Structure 1
């Protein structure tokens, strides 16, 4: 690959991840694009995670840095927030590109190379994300496409839709320094770190989707976030048993939109889109339902749309 002198910071957040952690780190170490540093921050694990990452740092001192601080994040989004803060404060000038890594997946060998190839020569804030291959705990294929399995279009990046539904999976993301310099590493009122970064990018730059699965997205009992096929019996049953979660999801979307408005000086036209979304909840129920559809604040997936319209 040309321009492989562009250095990449891969930020991995860990917590009690001993079971699959070695496989994930090894898959990163075997990438075809080798100009990277893996920065790992553990959130006070109580299993063998800290010993594992310390051993890897000792064996790969040029590739792996373990960040040791005294903070307790308490969640994945805040753990990643602390990683972003560390890079911005200590080594931002050392890197051109940035990526997130979970602790329990498995990266295909060309993941870094493919993602970085789409960022070369991008001067505006740019974020690249990819599809994923869904696998079980033993890496046996469940579905070749997370996006299709979830009834999502990875190329759908309109702000109206991103305000109500995220299509950018954090562990597939890669972005350039122009975007990294904009991100404020406080995700307190964000729903998730990846979702919020996608919103920031949508307002200040561009999002690019690569329709290829670059990660084996492992599904197991300890997943912080998992995937269910939208039209499956399991998915429908889950939604019927958690109807209040739809209302809570919309409430959280409004909170996140307010946080975006209050934290960033958005371009005027996009600020109006966000404010309009927030203000829709002040309208009567029938008017709100009509405006949600007319103005495009609609999720992807038929069942999601029905649930959203019903509970708006």
Structure 2
């Protein structure tokens, strides 16, 4: 069975479409756990109606600790997962009918390679759509200028390449993670980092989701000016913020790190203390890049 974890907050406008897309999956052996983060709209009422229709498939878990935010909301949901695999769901997307089966097949392929002993994460591409589900781009990774193959520890420390709403993790990875720390940048970034240290990451170059863009959920650079894009990316290159995440990561998983990865994490943590010359040297030495051109420009703008 696959556990599906959905975090909700004021999602009345789109949640029905997402629930219908999960119910319509060609793979049927799933259980959906929902945790609401204190919605003020009609979200809970909509969920209740679906629970009455599908009492064995949908469960709304206790939400006494309200307003945890997205990452800690998913952290609470992970504690509820007990089955071999779990997936993560946003409230406003639409899953394509074979999302679960495609992802699960890839996961099982990888587990055969490693004899089911390795903590694994599998994620996919997405189709980017507007609020009315009109196609904006057939590949999120091209749209957002992300290379999903750049998923080694040194690159993930700088930028996440795993989109949470496409993730499936096996129980071995879930148990290694145990919880999502409040200091992390986002739950999917944290999970990807842990997977890169303790297990492996598999990518499927197929979109399995309609990734709805609306309001504050916009992605990608909208400017036609290359200069504006570079300035925006440079401002987003927050070494200090990410080094704080790396510090928590090192404290939590140092026992899993080999000598090379241990050095990579420790030197990344120290970046905020280096002068510009040493900082640039360490960045180049450890290849802390995800997009080569932009990151190299960012490197010279970040001091």
- Tell me if TM exceeds 0.5: yes
Partner of 1:114: 102
Residues 105 and 215 in structure 1, CA contact (< 8 A), matched pair in contact too: yes
Partners of 1:150 and 1:308 in 2: how far apart? 20
Q: Which runs of 5+ in 2 are unaligned?
A: none
Deviation of 1:128 (Å): 0.2
Partner of 2:279: 288
Deviation of 1:213 (Å): 0.7
Q: Write out per-residue CA displacement over residues 85-108 of structure 1, whole angstroms, 9 at most, x where no aligned residue.
A: 233xxxx1xx11110000000000
Deviation of 1:63 (Å): 1.0
Q: Write out per-residue CA displacement over residues 101-142 of structure 1, whole angstroms, 9 at most, x where no aligned residue.
A: 000000000100000001116111010000110000000000
| Structure 1 residues 149 and 244: CA distance shift in structure 2, 3 A | closer
Partners of 1:10 and 1:243 in 2: how far apart? 36
Q: Write out per-residue CA displacement over residues 167-186 of structure 1, whole angstroms, 9 at most, x where no aligned residue.
A: 00000000111111111213
Give the TM-score normalised by structure 1.
0.89
Q: Which runs of 5+ in 1 are unaligned?
A: 1-6
| Structure 1 residues 234 and 128: CA distance shift in structure 2, 3 A | farther
Partners of 2:185 and 2:149 in 1: how far apart? 21
Q: Write out per-residue CA displacement over residues 127-164 of structure 1, whole angstroms, 9 at most, x where no aligned residue.
A: 00001100000000000001111222112211110000
- Where has structure 1 moved over 6 Å in runs of 4 or more? none
Partner of 1:300: 291
SS of equivalent to 2:243: helix
Q: Write out per-residue CA displacement over residues 161-210 of structure 1, whole angstroms, 9 at most, x where no aligned residue.
A: 00000000000000111111111213200000000000000000100010
Residues 133 and 141 in structure 1, CA contact (< 8 A), matched pair in contact too: yes
Residues 8 and 97 in structure 1, CA contact (< 8 A), matched pair in contact too: yes
Partners of 2:226 and 2:9 in 1: how far apart? 27
Match status 1:258 vs 2:247: yes
